[in-house]
Amino acid sequence: MSEHLPGQRSDPDAAGALPAPADAIRAELDRVLASDEFATSARLRDMLRFLVDESLAGRVARLKGYRIAVEVFHRDPGFDADTDPLVRIQAGRLRRALDRYYATAGARDPLRIGVPKGGYVPAFTVANGGEVATVATDPGRGPAEGTRPPVVAVLPFQSLSSDPEQAYFAEGLAAELTLALTRFDGMAVIARQSSLQYRDQVPDLPRIGRELGARYLVLGSVQRLGQAMRIDAGLTDAASREVLWNERYAFDLGERDLFAVQDDIAQKVSARVAGRYGAVFRDLGRGAQGQRSAVPGAYDAVLHFYHFVAERSAGAGGRARAALEQAVALDPGFALAWAMLAEMLVDTYASDPDAPAESLDRALAMATRAVALEPTCQQARWALAWTQFFRRDLPGFRAELERAIALNPNAPYFLGVAGWATALAGDWERGLALLERGIELDPHYPRWFHFAHYVDRFRRGDYAAALAQATLMGPSDAPRVLALEAAALVRLGRRDEARVKGAPLVAADAGFRTRGRRILQASLLDGELGEALLSALAEAGVDLD
């Protein structure tokens, strides 16, 4: 995921303030492209125009190496941005050409265009160093609403220690956190250099949000006294000042290396903020509730998906799927939407006995397309791995799973679900370790993650531990909890209790029983283990046939 560097000068009397940022940016682009520096290189002209046009259209999340290679340099869809350095080389040449232009013919231009290292999203700055907005002033919203991902900025962390020397840790932590956030799909992150200007200011959050074009702000403080360190971090909606999440961390530096603490906090805070069940997407999912837009923007579809993830109702699922299908029809290059559609199809197949087998073929085509469009999109890689898991293509599943994890080894949901599937595929030790890491990073993990722990205990004959895991899977009257408790109780010899647990399931409609069998058969690659669970349930009076 690329960094996004929008900003806006709020003082109309400030030197260099521009009344119409988009028009000014296009005028500057025309000056640059008409210069001698760019006259001899059609490649650099095409690349710069593409980057600026996509940024102004609000599509910064799509400025990836693969897309640039295919759409600007006309490489075929099999292009591999990881092994072919074409785009990185051209980006380096573009940066050097811009530097030469602004050192010579463009030295007096009122506005400057740059492409910061580490991504392909252009930055627009006025001559005195202030930044110009590429979007409307309402943070995180604008004329391209529905196509723009949410924008997050990490403000400088305050050092509350009496020793000014400790300020370096606070600055380093904010920098590490910014970097960690850029590895998550579905959002744009303001560059660190843009946020540094607020280091010594009393934070006026709505103003900062407007100036940076950020809907969400991460704030925090660091306090050290001797070997004790306390770190506070939180996420705030810039416009409303609503605190969406906050947490405190305490460390004894006599036991931990200072830089290890910094890395640990950056991993945990980024997961709490940007994970699938993190504060940003919980807030966005809440905002998507009940929307009925006839023609939703592309990113509106993503918001519907996150609302469905949070609610897990049939109505929310139907709206999400319809919105995603419309999004890819309007924008066939939207990799994230293709990946989400694939995941929803797989989930339906795994839980609905009436879902046709062709559902997995369709999901495979969608996930493969998502990966081809954006090979560095973790959601796309995971959708492909998830599909291959249920297709029983274990070599393909394991290969894509490793690629997905490598893209962001601190994304809690993907770590957790990767561990869940890895364990159920037979690699129990590694799978459960990944699962536990995902749970550690985000306390809002889905409770069905405990199913892998339950099955592990059940297969090893530790039925008391299996029973304890079943109770963690949801409300005490949830069908999945009752069923798994009943199976464990049977094996513990507590058959009367097992039948009490199973009674509501016996009275349930036949649809539940067929869905239950489908879920077990689809999820458990070990057929004998699945039959052992079904047998225990039958002894509790619950027949899933």
Per-residue three-class SS string for 27-90 = HHHHHHHCCHHHHCCHHHHHHHHHHHHHHHCCCHHHCCHHHHHHHCCCCCCCCCCCCCCHHHHH
The answer on pLDDT for 166 being more than 80 is: no
For residue 545, what pLDDT is reported? 64
> Token digits for 423?
């364990």
Please answer whether residues 16 and 126 qualify as being in contact, where contact means their C-beta atoms are separated by less than 8 angstroms: yes
Span 427-453, mean pLDDT? 94
Closest by CA position to 100, among listed 26, 39, 184: 39
Quick: pLDDT tens for 454-468: 999 999 999 999 999
The amino acid at residue 19 is P
For residue 509, what pLDDT is reported? 64
Regarding predicted confidence, which is higher, 235 or 160?
Answer: 235
pLDDT band at 479 (very low <50, low <70, confident <90, very high): confident
Please answer whether residues 542 and 376 qualify as being in contact, where contact means their C-beta atoms are separated by less than 8 angstroms: no
Please answer whether residues 392 and 357 qualify as being in contact, where contact means their C-beta atoms are separated by less than 8 angstroms: no
For residue 472, what pLDDT is reported? 95
CA 148/CA 158 separation, integer angstroms: 30
Tell me the pairing of strands 151-154 and 216-225: parallel
- Tell me the backbone φ, ψ of residue 118, rounded to 5 degrees: 100, -5
Quick: pLDDT tens for 104-130: 888 888 888 988 776 788 888 775 544
For residue 132, what pLDDT is reported? 43
> Token digits for 514?
């067929």
Q: What pTM was computed for the model? A: 0.69
The answer on pLDDT for 184 being more than 50 is: yes
CA 168/CA 260 separation, integer angstroms: 15
Quick: pLDDT tens for 274-324: 998 899 988 887 755 444 433 345 677 888 898 888 887 888 889 999 999
Span 208-226, mean pLDDT? 89
Contacts of 391 (CB under 8 A, 6+ apart): 360, 364
Span 11-24, mean pLDDT? 45
> Scanning the structure block, which residue is given the tokens 């100036």?
211
Closest by CA position to 492, among listed 453, 530, 536, 438: 536
Contacts of 514 (CB under 8 A, 6+ apart): 353, 544
Please answer whether residues 280 and 152 qualify as being in contact, where contact means their C-beta atoms are separated by less than 8 angstroms: yes
Regarding predicted confidence, which is higher, 326 or 200?
Answer: 326
DSSP letters for 192-208? HHHHGGGTTS---HHHH
> Scanning the structure block, which residue is given the tokens 């591999």?
80
pLDDT band at 238 (very low <50, low <70, confident <90, very high): very high
Span 245-251, mean pLDDT? 93
For residue 10, what pLDDT is reported? 31
CA 2/CA 62 separation, integer angstroms: 8
For residue 11, what pLDDT is reported? 32
CA 342 to chain centroid: 16
CA 514/CA 519 separation, integer angstroms: 9
Poorest-pLDDT segment among 104-113, 225-234, 277-286, 511-520: 511-520
For residue 290, what pLDDT is reported? 43
Please answer whether residues 131 and 112 qualify as being in contact, where contact means their C-beta atoms are separated by less than 8 angstroms: no
Span 382-391, mean pLDDT? 96
For residue 310, what pLDDT is reported? 80
Rg value, the chain, Cα: 26
Span 385-401, mean pLDDT? 96
> Token digits for 502?
């199973």
CA atoms 189, 192, 197, 198: torsion sign: positive
Span 237-266, mean pLDDT? 88
CA 200/CA 206 separation, integer angstroms: 17
pLDDT, the chain, mean: 83
